[in-house]
Structure 1
């Protein structure tokens, strides 16, 4: 429902349902001893327990989802700063239209996460959640809000560091273009400067793409799976 990759509109609902059922059956075999002693068939006990487990699972997926959404945000910011975000195209992982550079960054980062088996780490987090929050302990909303706030803060700082070269590039180039416009007002600066702004930004991204994605993957596992 909220896990990066599987929650995409490109993944059919039946496939997501089959994945959930398969993961549930596989985990039940290994977690039987931790689940059965707390199962009570009375509705007043069973229904709150089911709601608590749904909230805990949603929190685990949401923490990873926040980090991927932060990457899409900085990707949109980079495209705008490079002058390459004027026309939105079809998105790959999301429903809303986005710039071509943003779609490339989001899809590449998501593919890299699956190559590094982050979905296996999500399963490990689900198994570990039964030790951190057993079935006899209800969902702790305060701790969940703290985790969400910490993830938002860490993802913001990491994405700001990843996008800082493009922010500096946009400031320097636009400042230079502004000086040129003041010195020679008769030159149509906008039509001349935009191709150079886009070309320079794409060249910068070409050289920085590998490091960009590597730092994203390192920060993702440190900020989400590491917690």
Structure 2
């Protein structure tokens, strides 16, 4: 039996603010293809599951008469958004990798509609982004996010102050680590593109009358697709393996 219905609802709503802010930016759940009602129900279900585990911490703040719920809604929402952005930045790094692969292999096809968002992307970028996100879901990365939300109440307890500087440092470190990881994943294609273009440049010096661009374009695309065929499995696997260390380090 619930002895304090008002305090229970306020505690649940406070947890929902942090969870909802996280799911607002979480990759996969924040996709334009996911209905807003479904995101709402998922965030509400996760909040109801976490509230009993966090009851002692959350209810103690919710029942205080001097508690300002407007500030709690803002602070809890911002903390959830920062947690979700850490995972989103890492997944968005695949778009950087896809763009690099596209440029280095010369696969300049017209952009197509993105499967996850409402924008347009190259086919290679769409393929590896969707494959990386599906692999993360297969490895239950959302369980890691929910566990991080529960653990965040120990380091960022409810009722505290939102530390904007700390949040910016966290997001900056995430961008830096993501850039280095994606640069290593795309390094075979960068080396391939540089070596191929340098070789074509020497050929152009030896035979200036030959239309190098039209002759070399099919070969660079063909070689890039072969490299993509043999390297896509390792690329996606290394991407998935780097998620948990990156997420826990920041």
Shorter-chain TM range is: over 0.9
Partner of 1:113: 136
Match of 2:79 among 39, 56, 61: 56
Which consecutive segments of 4 or more residues in structure 1 shift more than 6 A?
none
Partner of 2:183: 160
- In structure 1, C-alpha distance between the alignment counterparts of 2:178 and 2:117, rounded to whole Å: 19
* Mapped contact 1:3–1:62 kept (Cα < 8 A): yes
Shift of residue 157, structure 1, vs aligned partner = 0.7
- RMSD value over aligned CA atoms? 1.5
- In structure 2, C-alpha distance between the alignment counterparts of 1:133 and 1:111, rounded to whole Å: 30
Match of 1:199 among 213, 222, 231: 222
Partner of 2:192: 169
**TM-score, normalized by length of structure 2?**
0.86
The SS at the match of 2:185 is: helix
Shift of residue 188, structure 1, vs aligned partner = 2.1
Residue 96, structure 1, aligned to residue 119, structure 2: yes
Residue 72, structure 1, aligned to residue 95, structure 2: yes
Residues paired across the two proteins, number: 227
- In structure 2, C-alpha distance between the alignment counterparts of 1:126 and 1:166, rounded to whole Å: 37
- In structure 2, C-alpha distance between the alignment counterparts of 1:210 and 1:30, rounded to whole Å: 39
- In structure 1, C-alpha distance between the alignment counterparts of 2:65 and 2:202, rounded to whole Å: 75
Question: Bigger shift: 94-103 or 106-115?
Answer: 94-103
The SS at the match of 2:113 is: coil
- In structure 2, C-alpha distance between the alignment counterparts of 1:142 and 1:40, rounded to whole Å: 29
- In structure 2, C-alpha distance between the alignment counterparts of 1:104 and 1:10, rounded to whole Å: 16
Shift of residue 186, structure 1, vs aligned partner = 2.6
Unaligned runs of 5+ in 1: none
**TM-score, normalized by length of structure 1?**
0.95
How far does the alpha carbon of each residue in 1:22-81 deviate from its partner, in whole angstroms, 9 at most, with x for none?
111111122122110011576871111111110111011000011111121121111121
Match of 1:29 among 52, 56, 66: 52
- In structure 2, C-alpha distance between the alignment counterparts of 1:81 and 1:10, rounded to whole Å: 30
* Mapped contact 1:80–1:86 kept (Cα < 8 A): no
The SS at the match of 1:6 is: coil
- In structure 1, C-alpha distance between the alignment counterparts of 2:34 and 2:108, rounded to whole Å: 26
Shift of residue 209, structure 1, vs aligned partner = 1.1
* Mapped contact 2:61–2:67 kept (Cα < 8 A): no
